């Protein structure tokens, strides 16, 4: 069970599609049951037999798939409870993506068992699309501090929006990232690269309150429709063209920040 209130309102986010087109802060009322289940599930999993794109050694539990845990932690101890639980599970780690810098998390002593994934995109895109989130420069500036506090820190390059000058903008961002983090962060850095998938219903909502965002997000000449598993219609970049986009951006990563391992790109 959970209770929610709205905080961030990113124009592209998939979470609002399932929660009334707002981006909620989530407070779990049954946290003790959640903690117990996670601990028992990890015990049943045992030692991970082989590495994969998620992690070479640990089973990874995404604890923030439907919210931003850094924001949730402003109102609730639920996230801290989970971070502290994973300290004692040597075969698993917690993971969550965030667009908000909450420095209270620096005091939690995760002991390397929680991965924080800071979502990054060019600031010009973020200003239009990442509504009520921490500025990109602030997210980058926090990476070293989170590494020093005992977190594994990765980055999400997400969503990648194709527009005029998009590769140049990402090259600038990679330069900003390279200059903004130290050796310890670089040594353990990895990334996810996720190109934009947009949703027809969210597009209609955005036209009413944030139409400028749709000038970047809704590009029929570049996109093709795809029916999702829940029956709604999404759009993504066209097959063939998207492969070229992915190759161009991963090549840029290899050139500008070669120490950053690409866990997956799609």
**What local confidence, expressed as pLDDT, does residue 28 receive?**
76
Give 29-33's long-range contacts (Cβ < 8 A, gap of 24+).
29/1, 29/2, 29/3, 30/1, 31/78, 31/81
pLDDT given at position 6: 40
Query: C-alpha distances in angstroms, 27 versus 12, 31, 66, 104?
Result: 23, 9, 12, 17
Looking only at the bridges linking them, the beta strands covering 24-28 and 2-6 are antiparallel
The pLDDT assigned to 197 comes to: 85
- What pLDDT score was predicted for residue 10? 63
Q: What is the pTM of this model?
A: 0.90
Measured CA to CA, the distance from residue 120 to residue 154 in angstroms comes to: 10
Mean pLDDT by 10 residues, the chain (266 residues): 45 51 68 96 97 97 90 93 97 97 98 98 92 94 98 97 97 98 98 91 71 88 85 87 98 98 96
Tokens of 259: 């120490």
Sequence-distant (≥ 6) Cβ neighbours of residue 27 within 8 angstroms: 2, 3, 4, 72, 75, 76, 78
Neighbours of 162 (CB within 10 A): 18
Q: Give the pLDDT of residue 13.
A: 57
């Amino acid at each position: 069970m959970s209770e929610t209130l709205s905080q961030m309102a990113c124009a592209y986010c998939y979470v609002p599609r399932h929660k009334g087109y707002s981006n909620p802060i989530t407070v779990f009322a049954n946290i003790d049951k959640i903690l117990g289940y996670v601990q028992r599930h990890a015990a049943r999993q045992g030692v991970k037999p082989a590495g994969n794109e998620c992690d070479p050694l640990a089973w990874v539990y995404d604890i923030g798939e439907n919210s931003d845990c850094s924001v949730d932690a402003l109102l609730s101890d639920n996230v801290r409870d989970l971070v502290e639980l994973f300290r004692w599970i040597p075969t698993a780690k917690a993971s969550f993506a965030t667009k908000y810098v909450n420095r209270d998390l620096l005091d939690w002593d995760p002991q390397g068992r929680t991965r924080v994934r800071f979502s990054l995109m060019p600031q010009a895109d973020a200003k239009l699309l990442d509504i009520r989130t921490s500025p990109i420069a602030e997210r980058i500036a926090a990476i070293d501090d989170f590494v020093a506090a005992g977190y594994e820190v990765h980055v999400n390059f997400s969503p990648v929006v194709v527009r005029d000058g998009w590769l140049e903008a990402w090259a600038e961002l990679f330069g900003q990232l390279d200059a903004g983090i130290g050796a310890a962060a670089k040594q353990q850095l990895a990334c996810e690269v996720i190109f934009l998938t947009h949703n027809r219903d969210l597009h209609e909502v955005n036209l009413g309150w944030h139409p400028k965002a749709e000038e970047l997000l809704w590009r029929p000449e570049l996109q093709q429709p795809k029916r999702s598993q829940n029956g709604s219609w999404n759009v993504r970049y066209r097959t063939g063209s998207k492969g070229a986009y992915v190759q161009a951006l991963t090549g840029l990563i290899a050139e500008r920040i070669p120490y950053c391992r690409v866990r997956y790109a799609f």
